[in-house]
Every structure is written in structure tokens, then in C-alpha cells.
Chain A
């Protein structure tokens, strides 16, 4: 990992989400951890904003081990969709453990519940990590419907969102819907980085 790479990513992502309501990030699996590093550094530098991080890729605990310092600002809440189904949940005031990544409605409810209690003057951000991982547990049609519904709701509540999709996990439907529903697409190419 070179710092210039992460700094570059951070700048692209932070510019995009400040200007656009919904940003889709499509990237090869190889660059996944760089992106996450960049995102956490960005979150860390924006302590006045409120963030909700939905993880379907990695258990909250493992994220916390790696980025705990960067997420310690108290401005980020996690929704972990995989630990409970895998039998590894802990109780943590900063994380909501959802019983199954197939319970897409519950994910929507928990996201909106967290943001509902946040004042209007605070900028709200949502990270979906990742849309493509939902495909492991749900059929593509359902994930498409989930994403449509979620982006409708976040728009109404003035929540900015970053939706990550990993190329290797993508299906045509998801590719289509992420293009359709995002105001801005950041496509990372290994060759460029």
C-alpha cells in the first residue's frame, strides 16, 4: 500500500460524496482494502458528520481491529449483517448485528432508525460495503429492489450514500442498477492505480 494511492482515492471519494447525493464505487477486489482505508481516513477527518457503515463483507470485529483508531471519533455507527448468522456476534454499543444478510428490510429499517435521531443540521452519510456481497445471500432481483428502495429513502432524508461494488462479485443487474441510481460512479481500474 502506498500512501499516494490511498491519498488519491481519498480525494476522489471525498470530492464525489460531498457534491453528489449517491456515489457508486466499482472496483476490483485487489483494491478493496485501499478503498476502505481511504474511506476510514476520510471519515476520521470529518468528525462533524454522521456516518452509518453497513458491512456485508467483513465482520465488524475485524473492521474494528484494523480501523478502530480511525473510527473512534464517535461519529460512525456500524450495521453488521454477517456476524450473527455466522454465530460470532458481540454486544457493542457502536454496532447493530442483523440476524441475516437476507433480511434486507431489516437493514433498511436499522439505517433509517439511526439517522432518524440525528438533527437536520448534521450531514448524514451512508456506506454500503458492499452491494455486490449482498448477491452472495440474495437473488439479484431482490438486491436491485433493495437498492432502489434504499436510495429512494435516503434521498428523501437527505442522506448521502457510497455504495461499493466489487467487480468479481457483480452481476449485470447490479451493474445496471448502480449506474442507474447513482449520481456519480467512481470506477477504479487496477491499471490506473
Chain B
């Protein structure tokens, strides 16, 4: 962390250089938080907790006065809010006050007159402009796209995917906005992205998996990479509960 940096307006604080997820154990593993402006892939199979951790990231930020936006593609808004109401970290007031903005990307692309299935290069850049405008106008510091896999599916070539994520990431970084992109992968595979590109462009990868312990599945979280910080690479056990949302503790390893 660059705590010693000094600029003319005064000292840069830790908060200016790292974005705290607000999940304590995760911030410790990140050596303080995510470097501001990073684009992070939240990778996991179905039901691994990607949406939940992203929403908790936004809620924690909103409580610190950082505005966030959540673009959903996979889940309609009413289902998303219904699922999130089960968690104590979720507070309707954060939505009502505009500290968290929930936006259905399918509705945006419909309004732009884009094909629902496949985007042309022009479609992709139109969509990109809209995303950037929204982020800029709302002055958001935290942004989520759930999921980037579904978005990539509509981009037809690897070049388009690379271009889209790269441009999105650099524009948001310029706005000091930290971004989570959820990435869906098949269960029990060590694979971080569907199209093998997302992971190379992203600044960070957080992997949600599970381990089998005598037939019971234990959720796990592991930091695979995070540019700009000396992070831990240990595998943690992860719990999802209504009361505390996402929580981590070191995974106990059976040597048997």
C-alpha cells in the first residue's frame, strides 16, 4: 500500500488507493483491499455465491458513501432483489436512495435496439458507451456486471471480447471505479473463464469453489491473482448466511 504518497492537496489515504470489500477476512487477504480501479473476475460455478458476494461488495461500499451499480444479465431484477432480501446486508434504502443502482442490461440493449443474441462491433461499442455514461453520470465507485460470461456470449469473437473488457476496464479505472465481473465456469474444473480471455485481461481473479469433506461440500474462496497488491493465496472456507452474508476462515486441510 502506498501510504507514504504525498500529493499537493494533501496525503493520499489508504482509502484512496484500495477499495475495501468490507468482508473483513477478504480485505486482510488482499492486504487492505482491492487496488482502486481494478477489474476483478468473480469466478465460480452455478450457486457458488458470485451474485451474493458482489452485492455485499456494493452494499458495504454504499454504507461508506461509495455509490455502486449492478448490471444484471442472467437474473431479472425482481428475482435478484427477492433473493437479496434474504440477507441482512441488503437494505432496500440503499436502492431507494440511489446508493445502489440495479439495472437490467437486457432492457438497455433492447432500448438501444440491439439484437438480443448477437452483437455486432457497432452494437458492442454502443453498449460500452452507455455503460461508461451511466458509471460517469452516477459517479459510481463500484460496478458489477453479472455475468460477463453472458455478455461475452453475445460478443462473437475473441477480439471483440478482449476489446470490450479492456476498454470497459480502462474507462472505469480512469473514473477510480472498481469493477467485479462474474464469470460462470463448469463445476469441479480449474478454469477461470468460459472464453479463456477474460482472465488475462482482468486485474484480479477470485475463485469460488468447493471441497468435498466426507460427502459434505464446503464452500471455498481463493485469491488467484490481484495486480498491485501482495495478496494471500490461501484457500479459505466460505460461509453464506442471512445474518452475515459472506464470511471466510482458513480452510482446514486433511492430510489423510
Contact = CB atoms under 8 A, between A and B. Distances in A.
Interface string B233-256: 000010100001001011111111
Nearest to A146: B252
A109 B247 contact: yes
Contacts, number: 47
B214 interface: yes
A92 interface: no
Interface string A100-116: 10111110110001000
Q: How large is the interface on A (under 10, 10 to 19, 20 to 34, 35 or more residues)?
A: 10 to 19
Contact of B218 (A103, A108, A141, A146): A103
Contacts of A103: 213, 216, 218, 237
Given A141-B255, A142-B254, A146-B252, A106 B216 contact: no
A139 interface: yes
B249 A142 contact: no
Interface string A119-154: 000000000000000000111011001100100000
Contacts of B244: 113
Of all A-B residue pairs in the complex, the 8 with the closest CB atoms, nearest first, are A105-B237, A142-B254, A145-B252, A100-B216, A139-B256, A102-B216, A105-B249, A102-B213
Interface in B189-221: 213-216, 218
Dominant SS at the A interface? helix
Contacts of A142: 213, 252-254, 256
A142 B254 CA distance: 5
Contacts of A102: 213-216, 218
Given A142-B252, A145-B252, A109 B239 contact: yes
B222 to A, nearest CB: 14
Given A102-B214, A105-B218, A105-B237, A149 B247 contact: no
A7 interface: no
Give the interface centre of B214, B249, B252 by most chain A CB atoms within 10 Å: B252
